[in-house]
Each structure stands twice: as C-alpha cells, then as structure tokens.
Amino acid sequence: HTRCLSDWSSDVCSSDLESARTVTRAQVAAWFALRLSGVVAHAPKRQTIVVTDLRGHWAATSAQALLDAAWMTARPNHTFEPDGPLTRADLAVIVAAALPDVMAGREAQLARWRTATPALPDVRPEHRAFAAIRLAVAAGIMASEGDQFAPGRLVSGADLVAVVARLERAAR
C-alpha cells in the first residue's frame, strides 16, 4: 500500500521514500503534512514566520503549515533550507513539538512521557535536543539503537516513514 505525496513535483511515493539513504527538511515537512494532515489542520497557528527560500518550492505549503504550527522552525537567517539534511536530534525536536497536538485530549499521558527518564547514554543533558529526544523515546515514537540514540546520524527515509507511522498510531 504505497502512498504518494500529491505536492511533490515527481512521483515520489512511500516506497521510494523508504529506500532513501537520507531525507531533506522538505521531504520531512511534506511527509508529516500528508500523513498527519488532520492533526496539522487542527493545530493552532503558533507563530508567523516568513522564510526567504520557499517561494516556488514544491514543499512550500507543507513546510509553511509545519512552521505555522511550530513543529518545525526557520533557521536564524530566516531560511527553511528545504534541501538541507536532518539529524535524528532534529527529528526528535519535530516529534516533541508535534506530540501535544497529536495527543490532544490525552494530556495526562503526555505528562507521563515528559517525566520519564529513558536511558540515553550518548545524549548528555546539556545536548540542545535532550528534552525532545527523551520525550520522543519515552513516547515510543523514536527508539535507541542498542544503547545509543545517535543524535547526529542523518535520518533515512525508512526512519522518517517509521516515525510518522508511530505518530499516526498515537493520534488515533
């Protein structure tokens, strides 16, 4: 059961995405917006961000929706960097930002995840994404690989598809 992204300029579908060695910020925004469209549509507009590099980009609508919901952020130079890579730490930050909307009405469960302390020996408390990684792992949306989270590893297509599928299940 292959799912295609309607706003992609080429016929890129989940089967193609799953085999990608790495994914871009645009692909992440588009996949989140497609698979979690109901959650994104009901997410409050938390910020108004104007980025300078999305005009005419195939993923502009998806990226703007995630920027508006504050699931993704612009770079300090007011760019989105749609073709930029994403690390596992970056993906955990997006997951942590999306979880309050995904778990709307189930705040008690979200609170339990926020206070959980999964073992993350390769992620120090001073890491910029420590809280987000801890939440994403405690919620079961992302997992350690053995005893390592590998926050600097680039996200593959298979990683992205699996993470969003777990978010979809959590949203039900």
pLDDT tens digits in sequence order for the chain, 172 residues long: 445 555 443 445 666 888 899 999 999 999 999 999 999 999 999 988 889 999 999 999 999 999 999 999 999 999 999 999 999 999 999 999 999 999 999 999 999 999 999 989 999 999 999 999 999 999 999 998 888 999 999 999 999 999 999 999 999 9
What share of the chain has pLDDT > 70, as a percent?
A: 91
Cα–Cα distances (Å) from 8 to 11, 56, 57, 73, in that order, read 7, 12, 9, 21
Q: How many CA atoms lie within 13 A of 91 on its CB side?
A: 33
DSSP the chain: ---B-TTSSS--BHHHHHT-SS-BHHHHHHHHHHHTHHHHHHS--------SS-TT-TTHHHHHHHHHTTSS---TTS---TT-B-BHHHHHHHHHHHHHHHTTT-HHHHHHHHH-----TTS-TTSTTHHHHHHHHHTTSS--BTTB--TTSBPPHHHHHHHHHHHHHHH-
Nearest Cα residue to 136 out of 98, 87, 85, 84 = 98
Q: Is the pTM of this model over 0.95?
A: no
158 and 18 in contact (C-beta within 8 Å)?
A: yes
Dump the DSSP string for 98-140: HHHHHTTT-HHHHHHHHH-----TTS-TTSTTHHHHHHHHHTT
- Report d(CA 117, CA 6) in Å as an integer: 39
